[in-house]
Structure 1
């Protein structure tokens, strides 16, 4: 292992070089969480940043007990990469943007047959949140059209079926109100206490959790399909990996429960690690040994600034109109002023630093680097 693996305590590892900036509060939360009953090991990723009581960008391995609060409210949130059949050489970004005026409303009746079929195939039985299917949501969720900028592993890229001359689509979303409802119910009944794995409460939570994972997967699929329909293109899913979940796992021969909170899987093949809307995203391939990081990787660049303080930091430098284009010349659609500033590139860490730490730790090799073309957040209402 390289210099990017730090041992903070006997059961806490941090995958980040000492030169990488990690907020002190995030380290405190990481260590505090490691003291929970049944907690066997904790690993922070290079994108680690503070959350509401628990850090984001980390994995937690327990024995005999799970902690739904560690998974959080957006159960199943993840990244889905689709390759479109649109050629980059024929792309008109302004025309592309104009076609995305109706991608936030609930899906109309023309989608109902597909939704019904896919819900049946995925064994999704609940119907209370169907109106949210196919919608991105707020916060750091997005749909982004991308171009493959540089290829480092041609063989791995071709094995995934990716073609550098075609437009790509990356979708980041999760279980929307469904995951929120599951966590609220759990907190109301159990506070932040964990659940013994032999209990009825555990069985009930896991059944709801697993359905929320499948719901989130379907949500990303429908988002991708409606964006493809909007730009009058076809496309195929290349990968779909989530980063908020708890599942059975074995780490170094030890059986237990692996919680990921803003940490993508390193045991499902290639994954996308996106930067901010003004930064590159990276397609990476995990390497063989994945115990020190609890079979997990960074899920993005990681926040540098808290939400709510970004507008104050940036408004004297950038007018709202300045933030609709990035340094790459890519377009941004976000008509919610607060969100426009909260999700500005300056609010995030440099994704290259995150990737460098993972490479130095011997955890990934880079397949390709992708550049944003158009990032969609919301058509919302300007504040």
Structure 2
């Protein structure tokens, strides 16, 4: 991806971000290079756009007759799942919930293979990972309803003033990585849709189902931990390929805007916005931002956090009064709120560009990341 894009490729790009948004030059270049791939018809960048390993994160790309597995990446089906709870914030026993949420690190005690088989998924050895959050930016978060901007729409979604909700961010774990490895492609040519591309999409769709089930089981486990009942209202994947006849719509870190309400989280120290998609403007490819997007890469965050006075003390306590459940100091620094863009500006861009309107605002209360400390060799291999 080192070539500079030609004028035709640049004409296929739409960037839905204001001039004041933090969009790195490398991300803009990756977006334009993506538009230059064979069969590519249009590319849309969202206001959370940032550079990725095999192309930009925070984008959608429409191609004819070809699918690009490396655009989607290894975490096929990664996304957000949203569950309003029947428990008000005032009745949440935080200390007990913190202790019990740590159990999410362990293996789910249910029958994972039977659950997957019920949904037509054979994940092999990866079945045992169902119900686990994983690493990186994944999380399971108890959130409090801060504001109902549209009371009617918020209450229709199961929210109430003073209430709680659960937001789960995870994907297909090792199963998605296996699918990606099975359909590895060198270079940027992709897979022909009729043939190898169709084979990839069949396995990809199984990983999508796995990812949704994984989020659902995580939510079940979290409900037990906080002693609440809830209902799955939203499941919004943001790493996926969607076939539309001879076209394939790729989304990498971009939420679909044609499936109802979308949660757009910031970081563990900032607010989450629940938004209603609007009729998409030309070139938006029925997509929205999936979150704040990274501002600083993981490799640089350790130095940034160590250089900030008192920074480590605030890693597990957020400015909004939330508590982070994470025993991995390195991961705490890599995923610190400072690593992410300003979610308020990202959402303001969504509104200004006519992509979405805010329905509700939620505040992080308890954020589970991991109770496992990574080994040094794991860190070097990331």
* Shared fold per TM-score greater than 0.5: yes
Residues 280 and 355 of structure 2 are in contact (CA less than 8 Å); yes or no, is this contact kept in structure 1?
yes
Residues 14 and 43 of structure 2 are in contact (CA less than 8 Å); yes or no, is this contact kept in structure 1?
yes
Which of the numbers 175, 179, 193 marks the counterpart of 2:176? 179
How far did 1:290 drift?
4.3
Q: Does 1:131 align with 2:132?
A: no
Q: Does 1:152 align with 2:152?
A: no
How far did 1:336 drift?
0.9
In structure 2, distance between residues paired with 1:28 and 1:316? 31
In structure 2, distance between residues paired with 1:182 and 1:57? 22
In structure 2, distance between residues paired with 1:335 and 1:183? 30
TM-score (norm 2): 0.92
How far did 1:363 drift?
1.0
Q: Does 1:227 align with 2:218?
A: no
Residues 316 and 324 of structure 2 are in contact (CA less than 8 Å); yes or no, is this contact kept in structure 1?
yes
Q: Secondary structure at the match of 1:308?
A: helix
In structure 1, distance between residues paired with 2:307 and 2:192? 51
Residues 29 and 54 of structure 1 are in contact (CA less than 8 Å); yes or no, is this contact kept in structure 2?
yes
Structure 1: tracts of 5 or more residues without a match: 1-6
Residues 266 and 290 of structure 1 are in contact (CA less than 8 Å); yes or no, is this contact kept in structure 2?
no
2:104 paired residue number: 103
TM-score (norm 1): 0.92
The residue correspondences of 1:292-371 to structure 2 (distance < 5 A) are: 292-317=283-308, 318-371=310-363
In structure 1, distance between residues paired with 2:359 and 2:73? 31
Q: 1:179 to 1:351 in 2, by over 3 A?
A: same
Please give the per-residue CA displacement for 1:23-48, whole angstroms capped at 9, x wherever unaligned.
Answer: 11000100011100000000110000
Q: Secondary structure at the match of 2:132?
A: coil
In structure 1, distance between residues paired with 2:373 and 2:313? 14
In structure 2, distance between residues paired with 1:231 and 1:160? 21
2:209 paired residue number: 214
Q: Secondary structure at the match of 1:278?
A: coil
Q: Secondary structure at the match of 1:193?
A: coil
From the two aligned structures, give the one with the greater helix fraction. 2
Deviates more, 1:327-336 or 1:73-82: 327-336
Residues 10 and 35 of structure 2 are in contact (CA less than 8 Å); yes or no, is this contact kept in structure 1?
no
Residues 47 and 350 of structure 2 are in contact (CA less than 8 Å); yes or no, is this contact kept in structure 1?
yes
In structure 2, distance between residues paired with 1:192 and 1:232? 49
How far did 1:88 drift?
1.1
1:263 paired residue number: 254
Q: RMSD in angstroms over aligned alpha carbons?
A: 1.8
- Equivalent pairs counted in the alignment come to 367
Please give the per-residue CA displacement for 1:133-159, whole angstroms capped at 9, x wherever unaligned.
Answer: 000000000001101101111111122
In structure 1, distance between residues paired with 2:299 and 2:129? 25
In structure 2, distance between residues paired with 1:214 and 1:299? 19
In structure 2, distance between residues paired with 1:86 and 1:161? 12
In structure 1, distance between residues paired with 2:291 and 2:158? 23
In structure 1, distance between residues paired with 2:92 and 2:9? 48
In structure 2, distance between residues paired with 1:126 and 1:341? 32
1:64 paired residue number: 65
How far did 1:289 drift?
2.9
Q: 1:319 to 1:17 in 2, by over 3 A?
A: closer
Which of the numbers 189, 209, 214 marks the counterpart of 1:193? 189
Please give the per-residue CA displacement for 1:220-277, whole angstroms capped at 9, x wherever unaligned.
Answer: 0000001111222221111111000001248xxxx62100000000000101000011
1:3 paired residue number: none
Please give the per-residue CA displacement for 1:161-186, whole angstroms capped at 9, x wherever unaligned.
Answer: 22233211100000000111111222
